[in-house]
Amino acid sequence: MTVTVGILYPGYSAEDDYPRLEGQLGGGVRLPLVHTLMREDAHRVDALLDVGGEDVLADGAAALAGHAPDAVVWACTSGSFVFGWEGAHTQVEKLAAAAGVPASSTSFAFVRAARALGVSRVAVAATYPADVAERFVEFLGRAGIRALTLTSRGIVTAAEVGTLGEDDVLDFVAANDHVDAEAVLVPDTALHTASLLDRLDERLGKPVLTANQVSVWEGLRLAGRTATAGLGALSRPQPVTE
């Protein structure tokens, strides 16, 4: 039986990770993607609040309806955690109501993926400006996940993040690990990581969770499907503790 996870993706940067991940999953999964409205490409709080606005996501859900998704994921980390813990919950509740199926966001996907792996101490390697990256750390803290270190690359636009090459991504993540971290979290769905999941885990010797990876895993979880390949450490997840 094929499972369909609808992806709502802001703008254009690393959306090609999703067909790649669909292929890596080995069949039985569809990941139709709708580009949601991005009035301004900026990792800045006001712009991100607009990117993740209720009207924008409702329009995206309507555009996905023809694909008959079993679940929908708002594939934008900063456009979800910037609303805060309660606001991000409200955001996905309204998205689920608009889509008529279970829904989540990348921010919650990071939390649930970390819990599935039994991880509570992490390093965060973020491409965002520092003030935005700090909000992600605060969001994780609400879930009992402690960031031992936070690195901010300071890139303002998703478009620029999407141009980073594989070697650059590998080196950036490896340089910003922490010896006591149980995993490294790499937020930003604008970053290409689908082809690097196993290499990242091998290079750091621990799980590396990236935004597009956890987004797909979360959608599959909502749809009742477990990945057995193609999602790095999350191909062998443990039960999630809510």
CB neighbours (10 Å) of residue 128? 26
Q: Which domains, and CATH codes, for the chain?
A: 3-107+212-235 (3.40.50.12500), 110-210 (3.40.50.12500)
The answer to whether 6 touches 99, Cβ cutoff 8 Å, is: yes
Which tokens in the block code for residue 206?
A: 């621990």
How does pLDDT run across 94-144, given as a tens digit for each residue? 999 999 999 999 999 999 999 999 999 999 999 999 999 999 999 999 999
Question: With pLDDT > 70 as the criterion, what percentage of the chain qualifies?
Answer: 97
Q: What is the mean pLDDT of residues 60-75?
A: 98
Q: What is the mean pLDDT of residues 40-50?
A: 94
Name every residue whose Cβ is closer than 8 Å to that of residue 87 and which is 6 or more positions away in sequence.
Answer: none
Looking at residue 241, its pLDDT comes to 47
